[in-house]
Structure 1
Amino acid sequence: MEGDYTIGDLVKKLNINKETIRYYEKIGLLSEPKKNANGYRIYSEKDIEMIRFICIIKNFGFSLREISILIHDEILCGNIEDIKRIVEGKINELSVKINKLEETKKLLEKVKRSLLSKDMEGCKDMEIYLKK
């Protein structure tokens, strides 16, 4: 029947492994699929779209827990203010990570310069940073 897919079809179509699909079912991101006469799981176009959505939003940095909230609370189809709040929270979280990475990069660049000039001041700064 058209629109019915096995887990093997999903693996090929979505470039995702079986264990991931089963895990999404286990934690409730995907509803339990119907089974055919042989007992094999059968997936629909809706399941394919849901897996695609999960993969895309996961690549944006959302955790599976956050994705679950978005899906089950129907926030994505609901109040625009809720969506805005979640996206702003993710932006703030990423900004904090970026700032920490930039600090680390600056420290490493200073250590590199210090090592090249045989200046031990960079090592003192690194020691102070590591004690934070």
Structure 2
Amino acid sequence: MSDESKKYSVSEIAKLAQVSPRTVRFYDEKNLVSPAKIEENGYRIYTDKELEQLKLISYLKELGFTLKDIKKLLHDKNSSQSFRLLIERQQQINEEKIAVLKDKQKLLKDFKKILRPRNIKNDNVADITRLMKNEAKLTRYRRKMWIYAVILFLVEISGIYGTVIAGKEAKPMLAVAIFTIMVILIAIFGTLLTLKYYQNVAYICPNCGNEFIPKLRKFFWAAHTPKFRKLRCPKCNEKSYCLEVAR
């Protein structure tokens, strides 16, 4: 160690590295950061080199590295390469945690939305569980409806294409027949999809929390968003956008 190097005691280097003296001694015991010199009286002397090591350890711990991994890095001959691999691995772990947290955030938002118009008495766990299951069921059903809607759209496109081709080939009767069949199929499948959807949903009034099933005619013509439908509550008689839930 050069005489010109700055020398620090345990308490001094701990203060500069923003850790406790106990942490400095612990790292010494674990062979993570050893003092540059131990004097005859037993005092441990540290230099700027050990100070940078302490700061590096603190930084790596904040990133989520374990002391075991940090020790491997500090004692590895190819420390630069090891450091890069550890960083890449930690990035992967963090991305996985972020994905899990995003999913949890979405569940919490959905749950909050479900609870908002309701009044669950005495934190009824069974009721909460039922709500969550119903919401998951409704989400799955909506996905199926989207698939059916896409199929219906493809049928419509095919019918339009067939009508155009028949018209170009000067076959008006065929064009009319294709168009008629297409309209009938769309009407039938559209009606079946609407009825099927109607049979699987109910609505919650945001004003009084009442859950109800509207009449089919009201359901069909009501303005709606993907998760709400503007209906009149049969209990409080208020007309508003009611939350859609599974029956």
Assess same fold via TM > 0.5.
yes
Structure 1 residues 107 and 57, CA gap change in structure 2 (3 angstroms): same
Cα distance in 2 between the residues matched to 1:40 and 1:67: 26
Q: Structure 2 matches for 1:39-78, cutoff 5 A?
A: 39-77=42-80
Alignment partner of 1:13 is 2:3:
no
Q: Distance in 2 between matches of 1:65 and 1:109?
A: 38
What residue in structure 2 maps to residue 111 of structure 1?
111
Looking at both structures, which has the greater relative contact order when contacts are Cα pairs under 8 Å and sequence separation is at least 6?
Answer: 1
Task: Return the letter of the residue paired with 2:52.
Answer: E
If each structure's strand is expressed as a fraction of its own residues, which one has the higher value? 2
User: Which of the two has higher C-alpha Rg?
Assistant: 2
Shift of 1:55: 1.3
Answer yes or no: is the 8 Å Cα contact 2:10–2:46 preserved in 1.
yes
Deviations 1:112-131 (A, max 9, x none): 111112188864437xx9xx
State the partner residue of 2:89.
89
CA contact (8 A) 1:25 1:32 kept: yes
1:98 corresponds in structure 2 to 98
Deviation at 1:32, TM superposition (A): 4.7
In 1: Cα distance, 2:129 partner to 2:89 partner = 36
Residue 76 (structure 1) shift: 2.5
Gaps of 5+ in 2: 121-126, 137-247
| CA 123–110 in structure 1, closer or farther in 2 if over 3 Å, else same | farther
Q: Percent identity?
A: 27
Structure ranking higher in helix proportion: 1
Relative to the length of structure 1, the TM-score reads 0.77
Q: Cα RMSD over matched residues?
A: 2.6
**Secondary structure at the residue paired with 1:117?**
coil
